Amino acid sequence: MPELPEVETVVRGLKARIEGKRLLRLTLHRPDLRRAIPKGLAAKVEERRVDRVDRRAKYILLHLADGGVLIVHLGMSGRLTLGDAARPAPPQPHDHALMIFEDAIELRFNDPRRFGLIDYARADALPRHQLFRHLGPEPLATDFDGAALARLLAGKKAPIKSALLDQRVVVGIGNIYACESLYWAGLSPKRLARTVQGERAARLAETIKRVLDHAISVGGSSLRDYVSASGELGNFQRHFAVYDREGERCPGCDCRTGIKRIVQSGRSTFYCAKRQR
């Protein structure tokens, strides 16, 4: 599933092309994805200018000039790709939505597994929307630091890896980036979240930001379905320290056992038992 770096990469690609443009036409090819698409959605968004493209957690937000917000979530296999409406590419299986903007800019939403979603809300209602009201803070926000992370983890009995995947604690990190962040912070994924306080929390918060920023700078990770808005693959998978490297040599120490894999909360965790404590 695309995580924060992948979604942020898509958002930045869309910002460069569709901010300030009017959405001329929205064509929907089915009434639902993971959930029902709001009835009459086209009438609510067509002929509105896109004032801002933004992200909240893993949701892509197209803020319209009249105060409406078109919400898109990529799910596990969704893609938002830009094209030229004057020379459109042939329709593809699983093209569920087509948006045409000014200057013949085309935006397609393709989702083979249909775990994504398309929704709509008014901007002032977003914090109370059922998709957003439970979400924790953004890890790239300026006020997300060691002290903030320590408060979020205080009293939590879950392993720190599981806590980082909890969207109520902090949003968007995902399995890959939790593994990588814990590795570079030198923290065991099995450590109880409540013990990550003080210097440990400061080190982890800083590392999370650094790992996410690095991933965004190289376009995120492409393991299966993800591509950027321009159709390009991400490259962060070339920089993995531990993720999906079970049995390989640890890049940061001289351990003989190499990178280990365990399962936590149904997800694979990769780590170095010597380096991470």
More confident residue, 224 or 232: 232
Beta bridge partners of 70: 62, 120
Give Cα separations from 47 to 24, 37, 57, 150 (angstroms): 5, 19, 27, 46
Residue 3 annotated as catalytic: yes
- Three-state secondary structure of 151-172: HHHCCCCCEHHHHHHCCCCCCC
Query: Which residue out of 55, 58, 108, 275 is catalytically annotated?
Result: 58
Contact 56, 31 (CB under 8 A): no
Q: If you average pLDDT over every residue of the chain, what do you get? A: 95
pLDDT in tens, 148-181: 999 999 999 999 999 999 999 999 999 999 999 9
Query: Does the structure show a pLDDT above 90 at 222?
Result: no
Q: Do residues 33 and 117 lie in contact, with contact meaning Cβ atoms separated by under 8 Å?
A: yes
| pLDDT over 90 (residue 255) | no
* Three-class secondary structure of residue 137 per DSSP: coil
Among 2, 5, 159, 189, the active-site one is 2
Distance CA 276, CA 263 (A): 16
11-33 residue pLDDT tens = 999 999 999 999 999 999 999 99
161 annotated active-site? no
Give me the catalytic one of 25, 249, 267, 274: 267
Asked about 79 being catalytic, the answer comes back as: no
- The per-residue pLDDT for 97 is 98
What domains are there in the chain, each with its CATH number?
4-128 (3.20.190.10), 146-271 (1.10.8.50)
Q: Which residues pair with 49 in a beta bridge?
A: 22
Residue 225's pLDDT is 66
Distance CA 165, CA 99 (A): 32
Any catalytic annotation for residue 2? yes
pLDDT tens for 46-97 read 999 999 999 999 999 999 999 999 999 999 999 999 999 999 989 999 999 9
- Residue 224's pLDDT is 65
Q: Structure pTM?
A: 0.94
CB 230 within 8 Å of CB 219: no
- Closest among 114, 139, 135 to 208, alpha carbons compared: 139
- Kindly write down the DSSP assignment for every residue of 15-29, as one continuous string: HHHHTT-EEEEEEES
The answer to whether the CB of 184 falls within 8 A of the CB of 276 is no
Q: Which of 3, 6, 8, 180 is catalytic?
A: 3
